[in-house]
Amino acid sequence: MAKTKTAKEQDVKIKKLTVEELKNLVDVQQRINNIILNLGNAELAKQSMIAEYSKVKGEWDVVAKDLEDKYGPVNVKLADGSMAPIDPSANPLG
């Protein structure tokens, strides 16, 4: 036998957003989700670039050490490869 609803249960009506309100809410939520996704992608790209930078910096350090072992402490002009001795008195830490 089915239960009959009480008067109180019959008076309760489910409230709903209007179609436009729901559309606006869904739109804003989708935009938030897209931003979060893009931030995640940007962070992954950043981490990838940091790892690549570390790798290239390590290569730079090896090349610089090899050149310093061969030529001593010099400044190199990257435009033409000319070298000039490093002036120890110009070093503020020295």
The 3-state secondary structure of 17-68 reads CCHHHHHHHHHHHHHHHHHHHHHHHHHHHHHHHHHHHHHHHHHHHHHHHHHH
Q: Please give the pLDDT value at position 12.
A: 77
Global pTM reads 0.61
Q: Is the pLDDT of residue 82 over 80?
A: yes
| Confidence band for 35, pLDDT divided at 50, 70 and 90 | very high
- What average pLDDT does the segment 61-90 reach? 92
Q: Please give the pLDDT value at position 93.
A: 63
Q: Please give the pLDDT value at position 2.
A: 62
Q: Please give the pLDDT value at position 13.
A: 85
